[in-house]
């Protein structure tokens, strides 16, 4: 049963490294069993810059999560972000032997797996291949071709690439911390799974996830992701501005932002002043909340304008009926919704990862700060592309990390792992699927064996 399966999300962020242990309850909601977090010192703008410091922080976060949940963690879903993330569109096609036979899931998987063989720029690697729409014998605009008849199957694909060194550094950190990567998932995709409703994705919505080092953007329309981007600005740059503008320490600047910061200067009172202790026998420093708000507003407006420029570049500014959803730690800034609506002219709300969460002792996870981590856990239970989930299939390698050459690819989470050659540990590690369930394992086994010849180079039996 799905609610027996435990999944762990590991968010390696710029300000914090967070591990979340979850499982589905009997109502299909996510129950959080344990939360662990540690200050992140080895990550800059979403990219690992110091492996040893990052490994230590991962170990601390995992240890906390293990103590709270009472579960031995071995396998994790990890998020990836950073300015190196690139998004591109590509077309592909296959010719089938006969027009009389229906198009099967195996045909769709063959077309998708071909996309992973695209030649990417040196030093980059494909991490996600997401179908946009299909053509069958030149008939356009088909969202799901399975069951149709035709000889020529074409597809438009949204392909996301990441820097190979960034992937390898994440891989090294997680491995050195004694863990195994199940899936490597783009962070804005993970966030979208936890805070966006199906109706919003259908109507058209832009998700803006403001983290410490990066601001992530994901655009959805007609229920399909159309674009993803990562901008190298986040909450930390606002803290740096306050530090320089008010001549205070870094930790004081962070506290000023969190406790008194406003995104619109007009909302701040001219007469309110905060007193900060002086350094080493110096007099306390007095800071006007109005001046503080001016500093924050200038930078926040710039970040929102950059994101909106990206939406305009794609031509989506008039096509997103559901407007904008903001999440991440930076979205908790006062008056940010009003500022975003003013800059973009689009309806805006704050996204909380509540919809998929059941009753939990750990209330903290309902904060937008944990949207990405909750999404990483949810990715263990459903596919990023909802069309796959509706059919009851799981597409091999579609939303999964393609490991470096010395590592074997991780098996898809939703498939009962009969075909994984690695020996299972004696203690049940989190992230393992449940033991074999009735006939579902055989069903998936047939699907996999049918496509084995096509995907032979994807499912080799090298070990981690």
State the SS3 of 300-318: HHHHHHHHHHHHHHHCCCC
β partners of residue 382: none
* Cβ contact 173:12 at 8 Å: yes
Question: Nearest to residue 262, comparing CAs of 339, 153, 358, 180?
Answer: 339
Answer yes or no: do 53 and 184 share one domain.
Answer: yes
Q: Which CATH number goes with the domain that contains 286?
A: 3.30.420.40
Q: Name the token pair of 389.
A: 């989930």
Q: Is the dihedral of CA 305, 309, 310, 314 positive or negative?
A: positive
Answer yes or no: do 282 and 425 share one domain.
Answer: no
Torsion of CA 181, 187, 193, 199, to 10 degrees: -150
Decide if 327 is inside a domain: no
* Cβ contact 235:217 at 8 Å: no
**Calpha distance 424→428 (Å, rounded):** 8
Answer yes or no: do 360 and 442 share one domain.
Answer: yes
Tally of structural domains, the chain: 2
**Calpha distance 325→368 (Å, rounded):** 11
Q: Name the token pair of 145.
A: 């071709």
Answer yes or no: do 77 and 179 share one domain.
Answer: yes
pTM: 0.81
Question: Nearest to residue 381, comparing CAs of 44, 117, 52, 77?
Answer: 77
Answer yes or no: do 169 and 245 share one domain.
Answer: no
Question: Nearest to residue 216, comparing CAs of 160, 164, 258?
Answer: 160
Q: Name the token pair of 172.
A: 């090294």
Cα dist from 102 to 94, 96, 147, 454, whole Å: 14, 10, 5, 18
Answer yes or no: do 73 and 175 share one domain.
Answer: yes
Instruction: From first to last of the 464 residues of the chain, give the pLDDT tens digit.
Output: 444 789 999 999 999 999 999 998 888 889 999 999 999 989 998 899 999 999 999 999 999 999 999 999 999 999 999 889 998 899 999 999 888 889 999 999 999 999 998 888 899 999 999 999 999 998 898 989 999 999 999 999 999 999 999 999 999 999 999 999 999 999 999 999 999 999 999 999 999 999 999 999 999 999 999 999 999 999 999 999 999 999 999 999 999 999 999 999 999 988 999 998 888 888 888 999 999 999 999 999 999 999 999 999 999 999 999 999 999 999 999 999 999 999 999 999 999 998 888 887 788 899 999 999 999 999 988 876 666 544 443 433 333 333 343 333 333 333 333 333 343 444 444 444 433 344 445 544 544 454 444 444 444 444 44
**Calpha distance 81→219 (Å, rounded):** 16
Domain coverage including residue 43: 1-83+163-196+355-464
Answer yes or no: do 53 and 176 share one domain.
Answer: yes
**Calpha distance 414→400 (Å, rounded):** 12
Decide if 439 is inside a domain: yes
Decide if 275 is inside a domain: yes
Answer yes or no: do 180 and 283 share one domain.
Answer: no
Decide if 414 is inside a domain: yes
* Cβ contact 77:377 at 8 Å: yes
392: left (phi over 0), alpha (psi -120 to 50) or beta: left
DSSP type of residue 367: S
Phi, psi of 318 (to 5 degrees): -105, 10
Q: What is the 3-state secondary structure (H, E, C) of 229-247?
A: EEECCCHHHHHHHHHHHHC
* Cβ contact 35:362 at 8 Å: yes
What percentage of the chain's residues is helix, strand, coil (to nearest 5)? 35, 25, 40
* Cβ contact 353:195 at 8 Å: yes
Question: Nearest to residue 384, comparing CAs of 112, 118, 145, 142?
Answer: 112
Decide if 40 is inside a domain: yes
Q: What is the pLDDT of residue 305?
A: 96
Answer yes or no: do 179 and 240 share one domain.
Answer: no
């Amino acid at each position: 049963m799905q609610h027996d399966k435990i999944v762990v999300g590991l968010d390696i962020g710029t300000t914090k490294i967070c591990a979340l242990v979850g499982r589905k309850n009997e109502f299909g909601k996510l129950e959080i069993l344990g939360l662990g977090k540690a200050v992140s010192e080895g990550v800059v703008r979403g990219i690992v810059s110091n492996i040893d410091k990052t490994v230590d922080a991962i170990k601390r976060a995992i240890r906390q999560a293990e103590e709270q949940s009472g579960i031995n963690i071995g396998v994790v879903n990890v998020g990836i972000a950073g300015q190196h993330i690139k998004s591109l569109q590509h077309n592909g096609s296959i010719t089938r032997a006969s027009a009389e036979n229906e198009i099967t899931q195996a045909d769709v998987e063959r077309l998708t797996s071909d996309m992973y063989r695209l030649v990417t720029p040196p030093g980059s690697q494909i991490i996600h291949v997401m179908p946009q729409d299909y053509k069958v014998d030149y008939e356009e605009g088909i969202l799901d071709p399975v069951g149709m008849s035709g000889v020529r199957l074409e597809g438009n694909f949204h392909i996301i690439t990441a820097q190979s060194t960034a992937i390898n550094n994440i891989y090294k950190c997680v491995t050195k911390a004694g863990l195994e990567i199940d899936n490597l998932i783009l962070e804005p995709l993970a966030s979208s799974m936890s805070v966006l409703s199906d109706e919003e994705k259908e109507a058209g919505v832009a998700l803006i996830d403001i983290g410490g080092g990066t601001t992530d953007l994901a655009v959805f329309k007609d229920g399909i992701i159309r674009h993803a981007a990562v901008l190298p600005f986040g909450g930390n740059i606002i803290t740096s501005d306050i530090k320089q503008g008010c001549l205070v320490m870094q930790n004081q600047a962070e506290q000023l932002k969190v406790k008194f910061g406003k995104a619109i200067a007009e909302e701040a009172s001219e007469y309110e002043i905060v007193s900060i202790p002086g350094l080493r026998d110096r007099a306390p420093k007095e800071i006007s909340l109005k001046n503080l708000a001016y500093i924050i507003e200038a930078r926040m407006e710039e970040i929102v304008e950059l994101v909106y420029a990206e939406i305009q570049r794609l031509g989506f500014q008039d096509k997103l009926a559901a407007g904008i959803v903001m999440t991440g730690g930076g979205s908790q800034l006062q008056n940010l919704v009003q500022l975003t609506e003013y800059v973009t002219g689009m309806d805006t709300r704050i996204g909380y990862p509540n919809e998929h969460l059941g009753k939990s002792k750990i209330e903290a996870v309902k904060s937008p700060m944990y949207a990405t981590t909750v999404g990483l856990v949810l990715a263990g239970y459903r596919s990023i592309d909802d069309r796959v989930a509706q059919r009851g299939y799981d597409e091999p390698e579609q939303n999964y990390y393609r490991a470096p050459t010395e590592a074997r690819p991780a098996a898809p989470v939703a498939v009962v792992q009969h075909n994984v050659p690695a020996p299972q540990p004696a203690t049940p590690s989190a992230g393992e699927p449940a033991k074999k369930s009735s006939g579902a394992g055989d069903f998936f086994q047939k699907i996999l064996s049918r496509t084995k010849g096509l995907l032979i180079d994807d499912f080799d039996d090298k070990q981690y």
